[in-house]
Amino acid sequence: METVKIKDKQFDLFIKQNDIENAIENIAKTMSADLKGKNPLFICVLNGAFMFASELLKRMNEPAEVSFVKLSSYTGDKTEGQVKSLIGLNENIQGRTVVILEDIVDTGHTMVNMLEVLNLSSPKEIKIATLLFKPEALKVDVKLDYVALEIPPDFIVGYGLDYDGYGRNYPNIYKVKENL
């Protein structure tokens, strides 16, 4: 599809599945090499990262351990809310190499919060792998170890990402059409 409509917004095709998966393939190679022998615990941040995690992890060579977490926030504010806790992390991460799998880094607040929470449990190291990164939107200092695709600061949906809960299912990524 060239365009999709979700609720009040129109979106145009922006990145095709094939290009997304080539980009994932590239970081998968680097990550496989870097993480060899480290027994990493992959932490997939729900809901957005499920498709990215699926494609990435299929390309990891060694048997991988994967956990799926959600972040619970104090406030309703999506991006600036303080993270209270991580729901669903049952593994003991003390002394382990942890690899966060995220859909998109925008302002960077979510990742900073997540690092703070995980660091309380004394992992050996934490690496961040993100499907998408909007460098121009970044507001905080956070080191991203693996970035599949850099994009401009426009609102997108598809490949796990949603607009008001919808659109995560699309295999391509779509960019919001600005009203003229």
- 8 A C-beta contact, residue 100 and residue 114: yes
d(CA 41, CA 28): 15
Respond yes or no: is residue 106 known to be catalytic.
yes
Nearest distance from residue 161's CB to Mg ion, in Å?
8
DSSP symbol at 140: S
Instruction: Please select the residue that binds ligand IMP; options are 9, 91, 155, 168, rule is CB under 6 A.
Output: 155
d(CA 177, CA 103): 21
Residues 59-78 binding ligand IMP (CB under 6 A) are: 78
Nearest distance from residue 169's CB to ligand IMP, in Å?
14
Residue 158 within binding range of ligand IMP, rule CB under 6 A: no
d(CA 142, CA 70): 20
Continuous H helices in the chain: 17-35, 50-57, 109-119
Active-site pick, 103, 106, 154, 162: 106
- Residue 101: is it exposed, middle or buried by C-beta count within 10 angstroms (0-12/13-18/19+)? buried
Site track for ligand IMP across 84-113, x = CB under 6 A: ------------------xxxxxxxxx---
Instruction: Please select the residue that binds ligand IMP; options are 3, 22, 79, 119, rule is CB under 6 A.
Output: 79
* Residues tagged active-site: 106
Task: Give the residues lining the site for ligand IMP (CB under 6 A).
Answer: 48, 78-79, 102-110, 155-156, 161
